[in-house]
Structure 1
Amino acid sequence: MSVTKELTDMTIGSKLLQQVRNNIKLKRSTGSYQGLRHAMGLPVHGQRTKYNARTARRLNRLNRSQ
């Protein structure tokens, strides 16, 4: 009983993905630094880009920012 109550209070699944997309869209529309990094497909949280930005480019290429 308590597990189902905890899960109903959490944001999971498609609602969580929609919330992430809306947050990214808000950052891009306000022109923030993180929004620009998302738009360019670069790492957002200060990672180095010489070698290990491949994952960020792959993730930002996905249609997450709709």
Structure 2
Amino acid sequence: MLRLALLLHTIISTTLMGTAIVIALVAGYGTLTPILIAAALGFVVAIPVSITVARALA
């Protein structure tokens, strides 16, 4: 299940990171720091999401 979770994390994290970056840009935060924070937040949030999806699939 760990392999599946890691594979899913690559897909889910890029999706959530992109979504968070778009939200930050639409909200008017166009500098580097908010974009990096949004990307890091998307990466961290993707960890439990990918584990949950892997458990549902396995």
Q: TM-score, normalised by structure 1?
A: 0.37
Larger radius of gyration: 1
Structure with the bigger percentage of helix: 2
Which structure has more RCO (C-alpha within 8 Å, separation ≥ 6)? 2
